[in-house]
Amino acid sequence: MNEIKGYKDLLIWQKGIELVKAIYKCFESFPKDEIFGLQSQMKRAVISVPSNIAEGWGRNSTKNYIQFLRIARGSLFELETQLIIARELNFLSEVKFNEISGLITEESKMLNAFIRSIDK
């Protein structure tokens, strides 16, 4: 097993970056007038996930880190809700929706497991 030297070595951070890229790519199908609406909200939520994982790592306190991981998890739920709204408004295909939903579910499970592992 590789030694974790920093937050960039964490799989939850790496998967968070993958999720950011997937969300940004999905905006190709959004209407242009959504750039400052739902699209903007989704960008903020998805960027918050790996950002909070990184920021919490830098706090050098397990209690603080867990709080930042919980914020990242909250941002995932926010993003999931926004994704559902985008699908309901037909901004996304069912295939793209399912793909991104799968990434969100995977990240959520990984965050939950990581929080449990360090909250002992």
The first and second tokens of residue 12, run together, are 């939850």
Sign of CA dihedral 59, 60, 61, 67: positive
Q: What is the pLDDT of residue 2?
A: 64
Decide if pLDDT at 25 tops 90: yes
Number of Cβ within a 10 Å radius of residue 71: 17
pLDDT tens digits, 66-97: 999 999 999 999 999 999 999 999 999 999 99
Nearest to 79 by CA among 120, 116, 35, 38: 38
Separation CA 82–CA 120 (nearest Å): 33
Summarize the confidence of residues 14-20 as an average pLDDT: 98
Summarize the confidence of residues 37-46 as an average pLDDT: 96
Number of Cβ within a 10 Å radius of residue 63: 9
